[in-house]
Structure 1
């Protein structure tokens, strides 16, 4: 459901009651979507896509990033050393 800013402001209680009932409201400004009001307890968009079978959850957990190695000098110096 799309709702303009003025209409949202004027009928905020009614629109929030609709969100409470599970509906999602898209807030528009001059016809352009700018925000979305969604129920707190509802599934996330990713959860919806998984339930619809459109995406699959990852098979493995993401590995933590490596710890950067400590070096001295600039990146240009390091590249120059590797080219020699």
Structure 2
């Protein structure tokens, strides 16, 4: 199917018709003074896949790779004990 080329103004006026053509498989090239500035294409079946499957597909294609495991994070020391309600009062003051 040959791409449809259309100016911005006409594309605005006929957007519903253009989208129906795209649903049928057509590609629409949007132009500004006969210079291509964008295109509308059908959504591929791959974009309907769940996120995990899309990520796996990108990994297979070599476009992304899984993150390497980080080094073991050192443990933080336990919080300092504050007497009575002091911690709550400080938190409330901080939150204003």
Q: Given the two structures, how large is their TM-score scaled by the length of structure 1? A: 0.50
Larger radius of gyration: 2
Q: Given the two structures, how large is their TM-score scaled by the length of structure 2? A: 0.44
